[in-house]
Structure 1
Amino acid sequence: MNEQKPLKQITYSCYYNQTREGEQFVPEHVFSYQIAGTLTMSDGDKQYTFHEDCFRLTRRNSLIKFTKQPPANGEYKNISVYLDQQTLRSFGMEYGYTSEKHLQTPPVMLLHAHPLLKSYIDSLQPYDALMHGNNEVLLSLKVKEAIAIVLQTNPALKDILFDLTEPGKIDLEAFMNRNFHFNVPLDRFAYLTGRSLSTFKRDFEKTFNATPGKWLQHRRLQEAHYRIKEKGEAPSDVYIDVGFEDLSHFSFAFKKMYGLAPSKI
């Protein structure tokens, strides 16, 4: 059983069983607090683990895979506040915040605990009523409060939160070889590489001599074959990790490419 109560810009998650979420494109900065259980996140290169009482910031425009693990005989609980670009832009103009440099940091960062952060999270506990009725004004104030407290306790995050620029054009080949296993729409890949969808498709075919769809499937199957044959992993543990949504579709495509079902390798 799992339950997620949407609070619009603030979400409270509660899970009774381990959930393997696959992947997610993170369009906005997210300030989160781990109430109970463990969250494991991966950007494809590195894994990040957050336990109970951990604060974190996930950067916008990130590709992340994650697994939620409840504690023994308990529930996984997490609360997240979405620091959207419109609110950040308005906040920056009102209080004079701007980004002075572009910082290269991991997509998710552990924030040091601070009494102000904890008191803010505690103040959200009675806000279950926000799920009902029109509470946009109250939600907006709580998001602005989160921004102010995150900046107060972590001043260095100013250059991250107020960097409102869109992704610039980057090396397509390096990006795709690093992120092919994320199962997101092509327009997301295009956006993250600083291209329109049409330019992305055109540049892709020039770079890889194949359409994005064909190349992605081929590359994902190659990775799956390597992990099953060389590392002894089970197909059921591999197919989501390499970018497939459905085990039967994965098995069909795998057999078509290699002549054997993945379970026979």
Structure 2
Amino acid sequence: MAIVSNNNARISYSCYYKENRQGEQFVEEHILSFQLSGSLLLNTGSKVYEFNAGDFRFIKRNQLIKFVKQPQPEGEFRSISVHFDQDLLRDISLEYGYTATLPSSESIISLKPGPLLTGYVDSILSLHRDGVVLTRELQALKLREGVLMLIEVEPKLKDILFNFSQPHKIDLQAFMEKNFRFNVQMQRFAYLTGRSLATFKRDFKKIFDTTPGNWLLNRRLKEAHYLIKEKNRSASHVYLEVGFEDLSHFSYAFKGKYGISPSRL
């Protein structure tokens, strides 16, 4: 639920009841988030993070993440998220002379609760409780306040917030082995590896001797076969985890490759 009055809301309040939610997303902008209740699992492909009520987190832009949102028993999942867009950060960089000096490899950073962080989130929550809907101008002021507060709380975030570089060309094979479980468009894979779509497909063919679509299908099925046969996992739990959207499509593709349905395996 957005708490601002325009379609480009950068401050949002999430609330889910009873059942957990899971999925994946491409994190396009930096995010500051606070867990009000319930728990959140974030999986970057190489590390799993868990956040519970009272935890603050900073999530770096330009990465793929799987998530599981779990309400507390007989309760809710609630969180506040603030998204910092690049135009805002460029303006602050020019105004205050902030620049990134060291590269940062951290994807998700846990932030220690303190008066500045708590006060900032409390001010947003009070607006939500009172039913106040922020105008675009007030939202911009609140976002600017958030950026300056983060720098004060965690100075090393300057090296992330004010790094405006785009993804550079990286090891394609290592990236795909790490991220094949994410169900995103080829354009997104290409962007994150620092390539145009045409270059991505050309490089992929050289490395894997097949198309990205065929490789992803077979790699996901191989992983699913391992999880079902060796780890005793059920098909209904595995298909989303390895990157399929639909259980029936997964079962059909699995039987086509292995000659047996995943449930019988």
Look up the SS of the partner of 2:206 in the other structure.
helix
Paired position in structure 2 for 1:207: 207
Paired position in structure 1 for 2:174: 174
Q: Take 1:212 and 1:18, find their aligned partners in 2: how far apart are those partners?
A: 35
Q: Take 2:44 and 2:18, find their aligned partners in 1: how far apart are those partners?
A: 23
Alignment of 1:138-149 (within 5 A): 138-149=138-149
Pair 1:118-2:113 in alignment: no
Look up the SS of the partner of 1:264 in the other structure.
coil
Q: Tell me how far 1:6 sits from its aligned partner.
A: 5.9
Task: Tell whether the 8 Å contact from 2:27 to 2:63 is kept in structure 1 after alignment.
Answer: yes
Task: Tell whether the 8 Å contact from 1:18 to 1:67 is kept in structure 2 after alignment.
Answer: no
Paired position in structure 1 for 2:22: 21
Q: Take 1:6 and 1:180, find their aligned partners in 2: how far apart are those partners?
A: 35
Paired position in structure 2 for 1:183: 183
Q: Tell me how far 1:21 sits from its aligned partner.
A: 2.4
TM-score where L is the length of structure 1:
0.95
Paired position in structure 2 for 1:42: 43
Deviation per CA, 1:146-194, whole angstroms, max 9, x where unpaired?
Answer: 1011111111111011111001000101100111000011111001100
Look up the SS of the partner of 2:50 in the other structure.
strand
Cα RMSD of the aligned pairs, angstroms, is 1.2
Unaligned runs of 5+ in 2: none
Task: Tell whether the 8 Å contact from 1:36 to 1:70 is kept in structure 2 after alignment.
Answer: yes
Task: Tell whether the 8 Å contact from 2:38 to 2:69 is kept in structure 1 after alignment.
Answer: yes
Q: Take 1:155 and 1:99, find their aligned partners in 2: how far apart are those partners?
A: 11
Paired position in structure 2 for 1:61: 62
Q: Tell me how far 1:130 sits from its aligned partner.
A: 5.5
Q: Take 1:9 and 1:45, find their aligned partners in 2: how far apart are those partners?
A: 28
Pair 1:152-2:152 in alignment: yes
Q: Tell me how far 1:126 sits from its aligned partner.
A: 3.4
Look up the SS of the partner of 1:239 in the other structure.
helix
Q: Take 1:20 and 1:65, find their aligned partners in 2: how far apart are those partners?
A: 11
Look up the SS of the partner of 1:78 in the other structure.
strand
Q: Take 2:19 and 2:48, find their aligned partners in 1: how far apart are those partners?
A: 17
Paired position in structure 2 for 1:249: 249
Task: Tell whether the 8 Å contact from 2:17 to 2:77 is kept in structure 1 after alignment.
Answer: yes
TM-score where L is the length of structure 2:
0.95
Q: Take 2:189 and 2:46, find their aligned partners in 1: how far apart are those partners?
A: 17
Task: Tell whether the 8 Å contact from 1:151 to 1:157 is kept in structure 2 after alignment.
Answer: yes
Q: Take 2:3 and 2:30, find their aligned partners in 1: how far apart are those partners?
A: 17
Look up the SS of the partner of 2:83 in the other structure.
strand
Q: Take 2:125 and 2:260, find their aligned partners in 1: how far apart are those partners?
A: 53
Whichever residue aligns with residue 20 of structure 2, its letter is T
Percent identity over the alignment? Answer: 51
Q: Take 1:65 and 1:9, find their aligned partners in 2: how far apart are those partners?
A: 21
Deviation per CA, 1:172-218, whole angstroms, max 9, x where unpaired?
Answer: 01100111000011111001100011111111111111111111001
Query: 4-13 or 227-236, which moves further after superposition?
Result: 4-13
Paired position in structure 2 for 1:88: 89
Deviation per CA, 1:84-113, whole angstroms, max 9, x where unpaired?
Answer: 1111111111111010121111x2110011
Deviation per CA, 1:18-42, whole angstroms, max 9, x where unpaired?
Answer: 3332211101100000011100111
Deviation per CA, 1:107-127, whole angstroms, max 9, x where unpaired?
Answer: 211001111100000100233
> Size of the alignment, in residue pairs?
259
Task: Tell whether the 8 Å contact from 2:56 to 2:111 is kept in structure 1 after alignment.
Answer: yes
Look up the SS of the partner of 1:97 in the other structure.
coil
